[in-house]
Amino acid sequence: MIQLTVERFRRFVRMANTWVLARKEHMGHVASQLPQVPKGNIVSEPFISKQTALSIVTAVFRIARQDPNAVAIVAPSDHFIEGAKVFIKQISAAVAVAEKREAIVTFGIEPTWPSPEYGYIERAGELSDAKEVYHTSRFVEKPPERVARRYLRQGTYLWNSGIYIFSVKVFLKLLATYQPAMYSVLEKIMGASSGNTPLHEARIRRALSTLEDVP
Protein backbone atom coordinates (compact mmCIF):
# COMPACT_ATOMS: atom_id res chain seq x y z
CA MET A 1 0.00 0.00 0.00
CA ILE A 2 2.92 2.34 0.58
CA GLN A 3 3.97 1.74 -3.03
CA LEU A 4 0.46 2.64 -4.21
CA THR A 5 0.51 5.80 -2.09
CA VAL A 6 3.80 7.00 -3.55
CA GLU A 7 2.68 6.23 -7.10
CA ARG A 8 -0.63 8.03 -6.52
CA PHE A 9 1.12 11.26 -5.55
CA ARG A 10 3.81 10.82 -8.19
CA ARG A 11 1.33 12.31 -10.67
CA PHE A 12 1.93 15.76 -9.22
CA VAL A 13 4.90 15.49 -6.83
CA ARG A 14 8.44 14.84 -8.06
CA MET A 15 10.35 12.05 -6.34
CA ALA A 16 12.97 14.59 -5.22
CA ASN A 17 10.16 16.28 -3.26
CA THR A 18 8.69 13.08 -1.81
CA TRP A 19 9.46 12.38 1.86
CA VAL A 20 8.67 9.16 3.69
CA LEU A 21 8.59 8.84 7.48
CA ALA A 22 9.15 5.40 8.99
CA ARG A 23 10.10 3.82 12.28
CA LYS A 24 13.81 3.22 12.60
CA GLU A 25 13.45 -0.57 12.50
CA HIS A 26 11.45 -0.32 9.25
CA MET A 27 13.83 1.97 7.37
CA GLY A 28 15.61 -0.74 5.37
CA HIS A 29 12.39 -2.45 4.34
CA VAL A 30 10.75 0.82 3.31
CA ALA A 31 13.81 1.79 1.23
CA SER A 32 13.72 -1.56 -0.57
CA GLN A 33 10.01 -1.08 -1.36
CA LEU A 34 10.54 2.48 -2.65
CA PRO A 35 13.75 2.51 -4.73
CA GLN A 36 12.43 5.52 -6.69
CA VAL A 37 12.48 7.73 -3.57
CA PRO A 38 15.90 9.31 -2.80
CA LYS A 39 17.46 7.54 0.19
CA GLY A 40 17.98 10.83 1.99
CA ASN A 41 14.23 11.46 1.78
CA ILE A 42 13.36 8.36 3.81
CA VAL A 43 13.79 9.42 7.42
CA SER A 44 13.11 7.81 10.77
CA GLU A 45 10.36 9.14 13.00
CA PRO A 46 11.88 10.92 16.01
CA PHE A 47 10.04 8.69 18.50
CA ILE A 48 7.94 5.53 18.61
CA SER A 49 5.95 6.35 21.74
CA LYS A 50 5.16 9.98 20.91
CA GLN A 51 2.25 11.10 18.74
CA THR A 52 2.26 11.72 14.98
CA ALA A 53 2.46 15.50 15.33
CA LEU A 54 6.19 15.55 16.16
CA SER A 55 7.01 13.45 13.10
CA ILE A 56 5.01 15.74 10.83
CA VAL A 57 6.53 18.87 12.35
CA THR A 58 10.11 17.64 11.92
CA ALA A 59 9.32 16.69 8.31
CA VAL A 60 7.93 20.18 7.62
CA PHE A 61 11.12 21.75 9.00
CA ARG A 62 13.14 19.52 6.66
CA ILE A 63 11.06 20.66 3.69
CA ALA A 64 11.36 24.31 4.74
CA ARG A 65 15.16 23.99 4.74
CA GLN A 66 15.00 23.09 1.04
CA ASP A 67 12.06 25.25 -0.07
CA PRO A 68 10.42 27.66 2.39
CA ASN A 69 7.72 28.46 -0.20
CA ALA A 70 6.63 24.84 -0.65
CA VAL A 71 3.10 23.49 -0.27
CA ALA A 72 3.13 20.18 1.60
CA ILE A 73 0.74 17.24 1.37
CA VAL A 74 0.69 14.92 4.40
CA ALA A 75 -0.86 11.52 3.70
CA PRO A 76 -1.00 8.14 5.48
CA SER A 77 0.70 5.27 3.68
CA ASP A 78 -2.12 2.73 4.07
CA HIS A 79 -5.04 4.28 2.17
CA PHE A 80 -6.79 2.47 -0.66
CA ILE A 81 -8.39 5.07 -2.93
CA GLU A 82 -10.62 4.26 -5.89
CA GLY A 83 -11.23 6.86 -8.56
CA ALA A 84 -7.73 8.30 -8.93
CA LYS A 85 -8.86 11.00 -11.38
CA VAL A 86 -11.39 12.40 -8.91
CA PHE A 87 -8.84 12.26 -6.09
CA ILE A 88 -6.22 14.13 -8.13
CA LYS A 89 -8.77 16.80 -9.01
CA GLN A 90 -9.63 17.21 -5.32
CA ILE A 91 -5.97 17.39 -4.29
CA SER A 92 -5.35 20.08 -6.91
CA ALA A 93 -8.31 22.08 -5.57
CA ALA A 94 -7.02 21.70 -2.01
CA VAL A 95 -3.54 22.90 -3.02
CA ALA A 96 -5.11 25.98 -4.64
CA VAL A 97 -7.03 26.76 -1.42
CA ALA A 98 -3.89 26.24 0.72
CA GLU A 99 -1.89 28.60 -1.51
CA LYS A 100 -4.59 31.28 -1.46
CA ARG A 101 -5.57 31.19 2.21
CA GLU A 102 -3.62 31.06 5.45
CA ALA A 103 -5.23 27.76 6.35
CA ILE A 104 -4.61 24.04 6.66
CA VAL A 105 -6.85 22.02 4.35
CA THR A 106 -7.96 18.50 5.26
CA PHE A 107 -10.04 15.82 3.56
CA GLY A 108 -13.23 14.48 5.09
CA ILE A 109 -14.83 11.17 4.09
CA GLU A 110 -18.59 10.66 4.08
CA PRO A 111 -19.15 8.07 6.84
CA THR A 112 -21.00 4.88 5.86
CA TRP A 113 -21.48 3.49 9.37
CA PRO A 114 -21.13 4.81 12.94
CA SER A 115 -17.55 3.65 13.45
CA PRO A 116 -15.91 4.33 16.83
CA GLU A 117 -12.53 3.52 15.24
CA TYR A 118 -12.21 6.76 13.25
CA GLY A 119 -11.81 10.40 14.16
CA TYR A 120 -14.54 12.79 12.99
CA ILE A 121 -14.56 16.31 11.56
CA GLU A 122 -17.55 18.60 12.02
CA ARG A 123 -17.92 20.79 8.96
CA ALA A 124 -19.40 24.29 8.98
CA GLY A 125 -20.35 26.63 6.13
CA GLU A 126 -19.01 26.34 2.61
CA LEU A 127 -16.26 28.73 1.52
CA SER A 128 -17.60 31.52 -0.66
CA ASP A 129 -14.87 31.18 -3.27
CA ALA A 130 -14.29 27.41 -3.38
CA LYS A 131 -16.90 24.79 -4.23
CA GLU A 132 -17.28 21.81 -1.88
CA VAL A 133 -14.70 23.26 0.50
CA TYR A 134 -15.94 23.95 4.02
CA HIS A 135 -14.84 25.59 7.21
CA THR A 136 -14.14 23.18 10.07
CA SER A 137 -15.93 23.52 13.40
CA ARG A 138 -14.03 20.88 15.34
CA PHE A 139 -12.24 17.54 15.37
CA VAL A 140 -13.44 14.63 17.52
CA GLU A 141 -11.07 11.75 18.28
CA LYS A 142 -12.72 8.29 18.05
CA PRO A 143 -16.07 8.86 19.81
CA PRO A 144 -18.16 6.05 21.38
CA GLU A 145 -20.50 4.29 18.94
CA ARG A 146 -23.62 5.95 20.41
CA VAL A 147 -22.06 9.37 19.71
CA ALA A 148 -20.97 8.29 16.22
CA ARG A 149 -24.59 7.29 15.50
CA ARG A 150 -25.70 10.80 16.43
CA TYR A 151 -23.07 12.26 14.11
CA LEU A 152 -24.43 10.22 11.20
CA ARG A 153 -27.96 11.43 11.91
CA GLN A 154 -26.80 15.05 12.00
CA GLY A 155 -25.16 14.74 8.59
CA THR A 156 -22.49 17.38 9.26
CA TYR A 157 -19.73 15.03 10.44
CA LEU A 158 -17.12 13.36 8.25
CA TRP A 159 -14.47 10.75 8.92
CA ASN A 160 -11.02 12.29 9.36
CA SER A 161 -8.89 11.00 6.48
CA GLY A 162 -5.58 12.12 7.97
CA ILE A 163 -4.68 13.93 4.72
CA TYR A 164 -3.56 17.55 5.17
CA ILE A 165 -2.44 20.19 2.67
CA PHE A 166 -0.80 23.46 3.68
CA SER A 167 1.77 26.10 2.86
CA VAL A 168 4.95 25.39 4.82
CA LYS A 169 5.15 29.07 5.81
CA VAL A 170 1.59 29.03 7.14
CA PHE A 171 2.15 25.78 9.03
CA LEU A 172 5.25 27.09 10.79
CA LYS A 173 3.49 30.36 11.59
CA LEU A 174 0.59 28.45 13.20
CA LEU A 175 3.04 26.18 15.02
CA ALA A 176 4.82 29.20 16.50
CA THR A 177 1.44 30.56 17.66
CA TYR A 178 -0.12 27.41 19.14
CA GLN A 179 2.91 25.28 20.04
CA PRO A 180 5.61 27.87 20.80
CA ALA A 181 7.79 25.49 22.84
CA MET A 182 7.93 22.93 20.03
CA TYR A 183 8.57 25.62 17.43
CA SER A 184 11.34 27.22 19.48
CA VAL A 185 13.19 23.92 19.98
CA LEU A 186 13.01 22.86 16.34
CA GLU A 187 13.63 26.29 14.85
CA LYS A 188 16.83 26.53 16.86
CA ILE A 189 18.08 23.14 15.64
CA MET A 190 16.59 22.76 12.16
CA GLY A 191 15.50 26.18 10.99
CA ALA A 192 18.66 28.17 11.53
CA SER A 193 20.77 26.31 8.95
CA SER A 194 20.49 25.81 5.22
CA GLY A 195 19.36 22.65 3.47
CA ASN A 196 22.99 21.80 2.71
CA THR A 197 23.93 21.55 6.38
CA PRO A 198 23.69 18.00 7.81
CA LEU A 199 21.15 17.51 10.57
CA HIS A 200 22.29 15.88 13.80
CA GLU A 201 19.58 13.31 14.50
CA ALA A 202 20.73 12.56 18.06
CA ARG A 203 20.58 16.26 18.93
CA ILE A 204 17.06 16.53 17.50
CA ARG A 205 15.89 13.51 19.52
CA ARG A 206 17.40 14.86 22.74
CA ALA A 207 15.72 18.22 22.27
CA LEU A 208 12.33 16.73 21.38
CA SER A 209 12.40 14.35 24.35
CA THR A 210 11.63 17.30 26.60
CA LEU A 211 8.37 18.08 24.79
CA GLU A 212 4.95 16.72 25.67
CA ASP A 213 2.96 14.49 23.33
CA VAL A 214 0.73 16.35 20.86
CA PRO A 215 -2.03 14.33 19.10
Boundaries of every domain in the chain: 75-167
Which residues, including other chains, have CB under 8 Å from residue 188's CB and lie 6 or more apart?
207
Which residues, including other chains, have CB under 8 Å from residue 70's CB and lie 6 or more apart?
17, 63, 64, 167, 168
Q: Which of 137, 167, 188, 156 is nearest to 69 (CA)?
A: 167
Q: How confident is the model at residue 138 (pLDDT cuts 50, 70, 90)?
A: very high
CB atoms within 10 A of CB 7: 12
**Residue 80 pLDDT exceeds 90:** no
Task: Give the helix/strand (H/E) hosting 172.
Answer: helix 168-178
Q: How confident is the model at residue 85 (pLDDT cuts 50, 70, 90)?
A: confident
- pLDDT at site 54: 80
Segment 197-204 mean pLDDT: 66
Please report, for residues 8, 50, 54, 68, 87, the alpha-carbon distance to residue 45 in angstroms, rounded to integers and kept in the order given.
22, 10, 8, 21, 27
pLDDT greater at residue 172 or residue 209:
172
- pLDDT at site 17: 94
Q: Give me the DSSP letters along 114-167.
A: --SSS-EEEEEEEPTTSTT-EEEEEEE-S--HHHHHHHHHHS-EEEEEEEEEEE
Q: Model's pTM, two decimal places?
A: 0.85
How many angstroms separate the CA atoms of 134 and 89, rounded?
Answer: 16
**Residue 195 pLDDT exceeds 70:** no
- pLDDT at site 214: 58
**Residue 165 pLDDT exceeds 90:** yes
How many angstroms separate the CA atoms of 17 and 41, rounded?
Answer: 8
pLDDT in tens, 86-104: 888 889 889 999 988 888 9
Which of the 8 DSSP states describes residue 189? I
